[in-house]
Every structure is written in structure tokens, then in C-alpha cells.
Structure 1
Amino acid sequence: MKSERVLLLPGWQNSGPDHWQSHWERLHGDERVEQHDWDWPKRGDWMARLDEALLQDDAPALLVAHSLGCQLVAAWAEHSQHTARVKGALLVAPPDTEHEAMPPQLHNWRPIRRPRLPFPSITVISSDDPYGAAERTLQMAQDWGSQVVMAGPRGHLNSASGLGDWPEGRQLLEDLARR
């Protein structure tokens, strides 16, 4: 993966220091795409920020999204003129932002964007994710044209899941890079 940039796309409220994305940033030098507002995320603002990050460098990028970052990738890919800069996306624990129990800060992420992604992707799904029923998340992944990896009962695949630096996830990213 030396020729590609790895862009980390955290979800709502960012990824804390014990999150696997933060481990990857420290261990592998992956680049976190910083958002202007992590607490009240606006879909259009986050999409514009992803475009800005991609345009900072001509190298192809691998997107590594967690939670709301997955919804960002789907919405961005539907509208951006720069999708050819992306070699692939690892989408981990996409939330069901259409669920009535979602906090009001996430209501502007409705409806979920579902067009087929214009680049290869892998979606990792936990069977007991509190932010998205496995059946709904599986349907999203199928709509996006993603390869699906079922991770078993691992919660939201975040720091509370005890993944550490999550070597299994890194292997999936390396597999995606080789495509």
C-alpha cells in the first residue's frame, strides 16, 4: 500500500485515542480527514472536506471509513467529480441513520444514499451493532456493490469492541489495495 494514501474517515464525534483508526494513524501514518464539526455533522460539509483532502495529493487513495464515515463515502461518491482518485473503500459498521432512535444531530444524513459505488469496497458488519441491524446494513452493502465481511458479535466495531490495532481489518485493507 505504499503508492496509495490511506484516508481515515471517522464517524460522528470522531475516533478517540483507543479506536482502531487512531491506532492505524499512529502505526501506519494513515491520514485522518478532519471535519470542521464532529458534533453536528452536515453531510454537504463533510463531502466538501473529503473532496479537499483528496485534491491535496495526486496519489490514489484508499478510504477507511467507520460508522458515519461510511455514509459519507456513499453520499460523496454519488456527487463528487473526483471518484476516480479512489482505489477502494473499507466501510466498517455503517449506521442506519434512518432509524427513528438516531440522535437529532444525524437527521440530515437521511435518506441513506444507496447507489453502487464506482470503486471496489468491502463492508464489515457486526451482528450486534447497536447503530444498525445486520439485515439493514447488509442491504446497504449490497446496494453499494460491496464485498461483505461478517465480523460476528463485535458491537459497533469501535474502541468499546476491544479491537486494538485490529490486524484483521488491516488485512482487509491490504486485500482491497491489491485489487
Structure 2
Amino acid sequence: MKIKDSEILIVPGLGNASPFHWQSRWADKMSTARRVEQDDWDRPERDAWTARLIEEVQRAEKPVILVAHSVGVLTVAHAAPDMVGKVAGAFLVGASDWERPELKEKFGVHGFDPVPRKPLGFPALVLASSNDPTCDLDKAEGWARDWDVRFGNAGEAGHFEAESGHGPWPEGLMAFAKFTQSLQPPAA
């Protein structure tokens, strides 16, 4: 599938994606991309975030490709049953493990646990890092297996944000392009 034949929905995580973050840079370069805006970026709430994502997917006029990061990945996982048939694929990067009590306590994010353990119902690629402070590699790989999607180990990539050296992130853009080429429009 070609990017021009889809709507790219950028699904940021906690705090939104800064202008230096790869998601913001990609959105600026892709003519069919737009960010899924949330009312409160600093206090993610599962029901509100999933409802907004589902609303944006339903509003799309072309097949949707999701590009999610951090708690945005979990937003996709929770919303997945309501998006089958509209989503051609999801590029899921650096999921945060909000089942970890220390993360919930530190950031005050609640409602994203437990993480769904059922197939997403559309193709996806989960990219994880061996040194991501918010999610162990084995946990991310287990989610990919449970979601029945592909998994990629990106090595020591931190949490895939500007602070870990992922501003423009050209390697990620190449992986995304390869992923989109493997997609087909969802069956109606």
C-alpha cells in the first residue's frame, strides 16, 4: 500500500510528541498524516484516549495506517476491536508498560492495564528496544505474540524519543516504508 492511498494517524504518548520527536517530523513530511489530538496529554485516560482514536479512524476517508508511540501503542491495543475494517495496519513503537506499578505511580497514568492479550485484527509491527526504561523487551515481544503481529528488536534505542537520539529517525522511517509496502487495504 502506498502512503498516498492511506490516511496516516499519528498516535503520540504521554505529553504529546514535541516538534523534535520523530512522530512530529514524520507528520510534517507526509501529506496524508495527521495527529490524533487528545484533550489532556499529561494525564492519559484510557476511555477518553481510545474514544478519540476510534472517532478519528471512523472519520477517515481512506484506509488508515496508525503510527503509535508509548502509551499511544496501548491506546491502539484497547481500541483495536472497534477499528477492524478501517485500519490497514499499525506501526507500534516503544510501548510503555503501564502494568508496572512504579510507572503508574511516577506518571499517574491509570486505566491502560491490564493490556489486552487478544489479536488486534489488523497487521502491525511492534518495535521495541533492549534498553527502554518503560518496557522490557520480553514484555513487548509477548504483547506482539498475543496481538498476533510482527515483532522487531531495534537494539539499544532507549524509549525512541528525541532524548534517546530519535529526532528525525531515518532508520525508523525506512522500516515504516517497508511495513506500509506490505499492507493491503482492509476488506470491507
Give the alignment's TM-score, normalised by structure 1. 0.94
How far did residue 33 of structure 1 move? 0.4
| 1:61 alignment partner in structure 2 | 64
How far did residue 166 of structure 1 move? 1.5
Q: What is the RMSD of the two structures over their aligned residues, measured on CA atoms?
A: 1.2
3-state SS, counterpart of residue 83 of structure 1: coil
| 1:116 alignment partner in structure 2 | 119
Identity over aligned pairs, percent:
37
Runs of 4+ in 1 over 4 A off after TM superposition: none
Matches of 2:133 and 2:115, distance apart in 1: 17
| 2:21 alignment partner in structure 1 | 19
Code of the residue aligned with 1:90 in structure 2: it is F
Q: Report 1:83-122 matches (<5 A).
A: 83-104=84-105, 105-122=108-125
Matches of 1:146 and 1:96, distance apart in 2: 18
How far did residue 139 of structure 1 move? 0.8
Q: How many residues align?
A: 177
Matches of 2:60 and 2:90, distance apart in 1: 17
1:171 is aligned to 2:174:
yes
User: Which stretches in structure 2 are left out of the alignment for 5+ residues?
Assistant: 183-188
Give the alignment's TM-score, normalised by structure 2. 0.89
After superposition, the C-alpha distances for 1:20-54 in whole angstroms (9 at most, x for unaligned) are: 00111112232110011111111111111012111
How far did residue 176 of structure 1 move? 2.3
- Paired residues of 1:122 and 1:147 also in contact (CA < 8 A): yes
| 2:43 alignment partner in structure 1 | 40
3-state SS, counterpart of residue 7 of structure 1: strand
- Paired residues of 1:120 and 1:176 also in contact (CA < 8 A): no
| 1:71 alignment partner in structure 2 | 74
After superposition, the C-alpha distances for 1:60-99 in whole angstroms (9 at most, x for unaligned) are: 0100000001001100013x1x321100000001111111
Code of the residue aligned with 2:143 in structure 1: it is M
